[in-house]
C-alpha cells in the first residue's frame, strides 16, 4: 500500500524527524531534515544504505545554501546559471555548519543543489530547512521516477509519499566537485561534461568511481548499483532466447519478446527521461535477461551509459 500525504503533512513529518518521499525533476528523493542526526539515521535505515555514503542536501535559494557552504566565484556563477536544476555542486562546508555529520559522512564538503520541481521548491521554502535526500529506493536498486517505483522498491515498508507526477529529467543530477584545486565531474547527468567544460576548460572526470576501494571522493559510486533482478547484456546486436530488449533509435533489433524503446527518434534527452521507467518495466517481466542496444556515448548518452554499466555489474 502506498500512503500519499499533503504538503502540510509532509512538513509535519519532517519536523518530527521522519523521512518522507518528495518529487524532484531528476528522481524522487527520500528527504529528511539535514541538520538532525536522528532524521538522517532514518534515511540510512530505510534505504539500508552504507553509512559512509554522503547525501545531497537540497535548498530553495542560493542565499539559503550560502548559510551552510562556501561559494567560490565559479560556484556562484554555475549555481546562478543552472539552478534550480539537475546539477549538484560539492562545496566546502562552513566550519560552524549545523549539517548533521551523518549527512556529510564526516567529510568537510557537502553536495548541494536546488531542485527544479514546483512541489519540491514549495516544500523547501515552506519548511525553511535544508533537506538531505538520496534517491527514494532501497540502496543499490533502480531509482524511482514515479511514486509507483517507490512502492516497487520498498514494498509495504514504503515511506509516506508527496506525489508530484513523473520526474521529467529521469536521471540523477550531474555531480561537480568544486572543493578541490581543479573542478571534477563525479557523476554524469543532464548537465553534460561538454556543457560544463565551456565554463571550466580544466574540468576533469573523477577518479574512477567504479573501484569499490577508491578513496572517499565519490563513495556512492559503487560499481554495482541500480541492480535489476535480471541480467543486463550491453551493446546487444542480436537477441538471445527469451531476452527482452531495451532499444534505442529507429531500428530496434527484431525480437519476439518485449521491447521498450527509450527513444524511437534516437533522442538522448527523451531516452534519459524514460530510462529508469524502462528498467522497472523490463525487470518485472519474465525473461532470461535484458539485452540493451548500444547508446551513443556523448552528451546525456554518457550519463545513461554510466547507469547502464552499473546496472550490468552484479
Residues forming contacts to ligand TXA in the complex (CB under 6 A) are 24, 26-27, 29, 53-56, 88, 90, 107, 109-111, 115, 133-135, 172-173, 175, 186, 217-221
**How many C-beta neighbours within 10 Å does residue 159 have?**
22
Which cell numbers in the block locate residue 184? 571534477
In the complex with Mg ion, which residue's Cβ is closer, 135 or 263?
135
| Residue 36 is a binding residue for Mg ion (CB under 5 A) | no
163 contacts 145 by C-beta, under 8 angstroms? no
Q: Output the smallest distance, CB 249 to ligand TXA, in A.
A: 26
Span of 32-40, 94-102, 130-138, 272-280 interacting with Mg ion by CB under 5 A: 130-138
Q: Smaller CB distance to ligand TXA: residue 27 or 262?
A: 27
- 56 contact choice in ligand TXA, Mg ion, none (CB below 5 to 8 Å, kind-dependent): ligand TXA
Q: Shortest distance, CB of residue 160 to ligand TXA, whole angstroms?
A: 16
Does 173 bind Mg ion (CB under 5 A)? Our answer is: no
With binding defined as CB under 5 A, does residue 135 bind Mg ion?
A: yes
**Residue from 203, 232, 254, 215 nearest 312 by CA:** 232
- Long-range contacts for 140-144 (Cβ within 8 Å, ≥24 apart)? 140/222, 140/224, 140/225, 140/226, 140/227, 141/226, 141/227, 142/226, 142/227, 142/228, 142/276, 142/279, 142/280, 142/283, 142/311, 143/27, 143/171, 143/172, 143/226, 143/276, 144/21, 144/27, 144/28, 144/276
CB of 43 to ligand TXA, least distance (A): 9
Minimum CB separation of residue 51 from ligand TXA in Å reads 12
**The residue to which cell 500525504 is assigned:** 5
Residue 218 vs 312, nearer CB to ligand TXA: 218
Q: Which residue has the cell 515552506?
A: 126
Comparing CB distances to ligand TXA, the nearer of 90 and 129 is 90
Query: What are the residues binding Mg ion (CB under 5 A)?
Result: 135
Amino acid at each position: 500500500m502506498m500512503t500519499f500525504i499533503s504538503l502540510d503533512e509532509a512538513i509535519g513529518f519532517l519536523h518530527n524527524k521522519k523521512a518522507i518521499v518528495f518529487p524532484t525533476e531528476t528522481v524522487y528523493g527520500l528527504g529528511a531534515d539535514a541538520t538532525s542526526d536522528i532524521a538522517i539515521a532514518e534515511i540510512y535505515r530505510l534505504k539500508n544504505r552504507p553509512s559512509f555514503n554522503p547525501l545531497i542536501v537540497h535548498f530553495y535559494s542560493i542565499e539559503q545554501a550560502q548559510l551552510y557552504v562556501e561559494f567560490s566565484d565559479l560556484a556562484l556563477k554555475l549555481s546562478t546559471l543552472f539552478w534550480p536544476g539537475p546539477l549538484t555542486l560539492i562545496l566546502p562546508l562552513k566550519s560552524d555548519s549545523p549539517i548533521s555529520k551523518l549527512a556529510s559522512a564526516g567529510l568537510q564538503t557537502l553536495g548541494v543543489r536546488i531542485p527544479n520541481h514546483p512541489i519540491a521548491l514549495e516544500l523547501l521554502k515552506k519548511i525553511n530547512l535544508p533537506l538531505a535526500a538520496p534517491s527514494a529506493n532501497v540502496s543499490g536498486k533502480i531509482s524511482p521516477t514515479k511514486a509507483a517505483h517507490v512502492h516497487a522498491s520498498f514494498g509495504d515498508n514504503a515511506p509516506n509519499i508527496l506525489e508530484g507526477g513523473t520526474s521529467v529529467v529521469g536521471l540523477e543530477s550531474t555531480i561537480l566537485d568544486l572543493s578541490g584545486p581543479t573542478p571534477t565531474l563525479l557523476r554524469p547527468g543532464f548537465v553534460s561534461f561538454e556543457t560544463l567544460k565551456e565554463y571550466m576548460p580544466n574540468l576533469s572526470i573523477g577518479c574512477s568511481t567504479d573501484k569499490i576501494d577508491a578513496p572517499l571522493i565519490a563513495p556512492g559510486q559503487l560499481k554495482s548499483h541500480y541492480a535489476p533482478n535480471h541480467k543486463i547484456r550491453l551493446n546487444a546486436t542480436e537477441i538471445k532466447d527469451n531476452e527482452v530488449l531495451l532499444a534505442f533509435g529507429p531500428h530496434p533489433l527484431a525480437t519476439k519478446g518485449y521491447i521498450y524503446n527509450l527513444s524511437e527518434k534516437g533522442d538522448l534527452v527523451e531516452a534519459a527521461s524514460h530510462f529508469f521507467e524502462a528498467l522497472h518495466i523490463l525487470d518485472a517481466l519474465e525473461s532470461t535477461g535484458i539485452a540493451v542496444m548500444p547508446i551513443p556515448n556523448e552528451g546525456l548518452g554518457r550519463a545513461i551509459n554510466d547507469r547502464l554499466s552499473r546496472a550490468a555489474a552484479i
